[in-house]
Amino acid sequence: MGDDLSIDQDPGLPMETIRGIPVSSGIVIGRVFRLGEAEQRVPHRRIESGEVDREIERMETAFEEAIADLEALRDRTRVQLGAEPAKIFEFHVGLLRDPSLRKPIRTRIETDLVVAEWAVADEFRAVADRFAAMGNEVFAQKTADIIDLDRRVLDRLMGENTSRLATLEEPVIIVAHELTPSQTAGMDRTKVLGFATDLGGRTSHVSIVAKAVDIPAVVGCQRISRIAENGDLVIVDGDGGTVILDPTDEILADYRARQTRVTSYRAELRRSAGLEAITVDGSSISLLGNIEFPDEIPSVLDNGGAGVGLYRTEFLYLTSGHEPSEDDHYQAYRTAISHLGGRPLTIRTQDLGADKYTQTQAEEPERNPFLGCRSIRYSLLHLPEFKTQLRAILRAAAAGPVKVMFPLVSTVMEIRQAKMLLADVAEELDEEGVERGRDVSIGMMVEVPSAALMARAFSSEVDFFSIGTNDLIQYTLAVDRGNERVANLYTGASPAVIQLVKNVVRAARRREIEVSLCGELAGEPIYTMLLLGLGLRTLSMVPTQIPLIKTVIRAVTIDHCERIARKVGTFDSERQVLNYLRDELRKIDPGSPGGWTAD
**Active site residue ranges:** 205, 518
| Measured distance CA(74)–CA(71) in Å, rounded | 5
Give the DSSP letter of residue 302: H
Q: Which residues pair with 174 in a beta bridge?
A: 33, 195
Q: Which among 340, 334, 266 is positioned nearest to 297, based on CA atoms?
A: 340
Which residue, among 205, 192, 225, 193, has the nearest Cα to 149 in the 3D structure?
A: 205
Residue 62 CA to residue 67 CA, distance in Å, equals 9
CB of 121 within 8 A of CB of 7? no
- φ, ψ of residue 293 to 5 degrees: the values are -130, 140
Q: What angle do CA 473, 477, 479 make, to 5 degrees?
A: 85
User: Treating both helix axes as pointing N-terminal to C-terminal, what angle do 116-132 and 143-158 enclose, rounded to 10 degrees?
Assistant: 170
Dihedral angle at the C-alpha atoms of 277, 278, 280, 283, nearest 10 degrees?
150
| One-letter identity of residue 266 | R
User: Coil, helix or strand for 557?
Assistant: coil
How far apart (Å, rounded) are the C-alpha atoms in residues 320 and 323? 8
| CB-side neighbour CA atoms (13 Å) of 215 | 29
Other Cβ atoms less than 10 A from the Cβ of 278: the count is 13
What does the H/E/C string look like for 247-270?
Answer: CCHHHHHHHHHHHHHHHHHHHHHH
Q: What are phi and psi of 466, to 5 degrees?
A: -130, 115
CA–CA dist 355, 374 (Å, integer)? 9
Count other C-beta atoms under 10 Å from residue 79's C-beta.
9
Q: How far apart are the first and last CA of the chain?
A: 3
Three-state DSSP class for residue 473: helix
Q: CA triplet 569, 575, 578: central angle to 5 degrees?
A: 70
Q: Which amino acid, 491?
A: T
Backbone φ and ψ for 177, nearest 5 degrees, come out as -65, -45
